[in-house]
Structure 1
Amino acid sequence: MAISRRRNRLTVAALLMAVVTLLVDACGGGGSGGGTEPATAAGAAAHFDVSSLRKPSGRALGVVDDKTPWQYGIVDSFTKDAGRAPGIREYYSSWSDDFDTEGNAFLWQHGQLPMMALVPSDVALADIAKGEEDAYIRRLAGQIADYDGPLALSFAGEMNGPWNSWGPEHTKPADFVAAWKHVHEVFAAQHVTNVLWVWTPHVVDSGTPATLRPYYPGDAYVDWVGLIGYYGPIDGAAFSSLFTPSLHQIAAFSHKPVLIAETGVAESGQKQAHIRDLFRGAAKAGVIGLVWYDQRKNWPGSKQLMDWRISTSMGALAAFKVESGRYGFGHSFKTG
């Protein structure tokens, strides 16, 4: 009887194991059978890794506007005008917005490195630093990690611009630094490996005189330095006056690669000369690329509508094509 009961128990156990095995295989959990691994922290860390992009060898050419990643018209029109496709497509996203996984994947599949300018509208940087926005940050981090491609992320850009609610007239530099570090640390805790962190102040000029060093989070928290500046009627008649002073400041505390993260040349009788000066100066400064605002928009702080497009005249367009080609702007981050 003892032997019989033991055999019955073994039979039942074997049947249970078989049922469990069938259920696991049906759910795709069989390790050796090619099934999908469970979603774990280790699995998240296996997503796209941006290590190879932190120090790019070429000079990229990008385009930016306020449209979503799915609104691809700016890429098509810029490609047609410039004679080459942009390697970076920058767009803006407001705080609390979800990450557009499919839209960013579409950009990357078509040869553009997505660059998201995350705008902290309607939220205080001090609250972000204190962890009061962690639920959103964790959600965003998870969404970005699930996107199988790279993302250049600019958080609270132009933090030295008084026109922003997170600028020097509203927020202390220490609050910006604390918020930046906190967002970065939450992403790190989520094992996000596909983000390039781009610190993007506006160039130091008459409208933005704040010193840049107090706003810098430190090399451990930054992959690229981005600079924003325009050739226009108020500031910016030459690279030496528009970008060089800021580059000198930055060189004193960081040796990270520099991207001109947003720029343009306003329509004027000097537009061709300014385009030539921009590309010549950017190449001499050793930047890894520049991103063009190929739209019309008001000059910051005024109602003066400026036309920054490269196609405002045949002369401007020819200068753009010749100079971007002369100095090798057109590198693609897409390697496969």
Structure 2
Amino acid sequence: MTGTEGASRSGEAPGARRRTPGSGARRRGTPRSGGTAWPALVLAAVGALLAAIGVWHAWGGTADTDQDAANGSCAPTALLEPPCGAWWGAYIPYARDGSLKDAVYAFEKKIGRRLDLVHNYHDMSRTERDGVLLTPDERELGRDRLLMLAWESTVWTEPHHENWTETQLGWRAVADGTFDEEIIDPQARRLKAYGERVFLSFDQEADFRTPDAGTPEEFVAAYRHLHDRFERLGVDNVVWVWTVSGYLGNAGLMKSLYPGDDYVDWIGMDQYNYFRCHDSENWLDFERSQRPSYEWLRANVSATKPVMLAEFSTAPDPDRPGRQRDWYREMPAVVPTLPGVRALVHWNRPVPGEGCDLTVDRGPALEGYREAGRAPYFRQRLPAR
């Protein structure tokens, strides 16, 4: 969620998600069986293997075809792009006990599968709770999941941005190197020491952070400075994600915020069906909520960079509850027709306001999301750790 009036709907006015009043916000193979000399032992081994594959599949793995296993055609690229489908991810707020790990595990149990990607937000406060990239919980989750870290050039007032209030540090100061020694360099070194590839997004939804954070030119300078600083420190395991809201009312602004192909690995967009949460009678199904912004980014920013739906969700329709279920059920058919989309990250947090429960924690929304998450297209092999 972004800096002022959070992300948006395609062609409609943007609305709040994370901050006041809106938002704040870069592995395994399949075992084989064989042998015929001892039928009983073989049958037992095969049975155990099938059971293991079934459990593994239920938590997000996919059994490769013989051809894929032989030639690695579905193996992710060095920039974590899965060529045969898309990552299935989510942003999950911390549990009441302050644990991100427990919150993710509980969510995965609810949806019946392991997430491929866990998205979490950080500020630049240097506090252990929010200002340190790669917390112990993130490291634990990163053992068998990809991590997406959204790093904001702000200092949040409350832990985990609870009430969406913050202090913006300013893009000019970031670009000038003001925070290099105390903030940027220590976090860069932490990421380098971690070693595994991670996605990193700087000031997600930058188009809704202007003018408070600075001008588009200052954002580009700050983004490039951060990228170049990491490069000078030898941090080569970061996959850089440039994320905008996708709100087409900001088309010209989004274009002016692009740092350039040499600085961006993935393009992210945050589009929702807010419906009555934003006082609209215009229900946007999954395709109508995503395709216009996706096609605009392909035509105006990059036709080749992989795209991440870095936040997406739908509000409920109180008069037709089944609409939420159908919204998610549509995804396995629609996403392959958006061929650049290689990762989907569900925003699983309610936002203030009547009709603004964007979660899939229960009811028709959970039913539809669980069903969509079983689609083979969203069951890709994670890179080797």
TM range (shorter): 0.7 to 0.9
User: Residue 108 of structure 1: which of 129, 142, 149 is its match?
Assistant: 142
Q: Which runs of 4+ in 1 moved over 6 A?
A: none
Asked if the contact 2:90/2:117 (under 8 Å) is kept, the reply is yes
Provide the C-alpha distance between the structure 1 equivalents of 2:382 and 2:252, rounded to a whole number of angstroms.
33
- CA deviations 1:154-204 (Å, max 9, x no partner) are 11001112xxxx334652111111110000000000010111111111121
Which structure has more RCO (C-alpha within 8 Å, separation ≥ 6)?
Answer: 2
Provide the C-alpha distance between the structure 2 equivalents of 1:193 and 1:205, rounded to a whole number of angstroms.
33
Q: Unaligned 5+ residue runs, structure 2?
A: 1-75, 126-130, 155-167
2:243 equivalent in structure 1: 200
Asked if the contact 1:112/1:334 (under 8 Å) is kept, the reply is no
TM-score, length basis structure 1: 0.75
1:190 equivalent in structure 2: 233
Matches within 5 A, 1:1-336: 52-57=78-83, 58-67=85-94, 70-96=99-125, 97-100=131-134, 102-109=136-143, 111-121=144-154, 122-135=168-181, 136-161=183-208, 166-168=209-211, 171-205=214-248, 208=250, 211-233=253-275, 234=278, 237-252=284-299, 253-254=301-302, 255-268=304-317, 269=320, 270-286=323-339, 287-298=341-352, 303-304=353-354, 306-313=356-363, 315-326=364-375, 328-336=377-385
Asked if the contact 2:246/2:269 (under 8 Å) is kept, the reply is yes
Larger radius of gyration: 1
Provide the C-alpha distance between the structure 2 equivalents of 1:87 and 1:289, rounded to a whole number of angstroms.
9
The Cα shift of 1:131 comes to 1.6
TM-score, length basis structure 2: 0.66
- CA deviations 1:133-154 (Å, max 9, x no partner) are 2112112111111113221111
The one-letter amino acid paired with 1:309 is T
The Cα shift of 1:101 comes to 5.2
Provide the C-alpha distance between the structure 1 equivalents of 2:195 and 2:80, rounded to a whole number of angstroms.
17
Identity of aligned residues (%): 26
2:105 aligned counterpart, secondary structure? helix
- RMSD, matched Cα: 2.4
Provide the C-alpha distance between the structure 2 equivalents of 1:322 and 1:94, rounded to a whole number of angstroms.
34
Provide the C-alpha distance between the structure 2 equivalents of 1:294 and 1:53, rounded to a whole number of angstroms.
26
Say which is worse superposed, 73-82 or 99-108, in terms of deviation: 99-108
Distance 1:180 1:231, change over 3 A: same
The Cα shift of 1:316 comes to 2.8
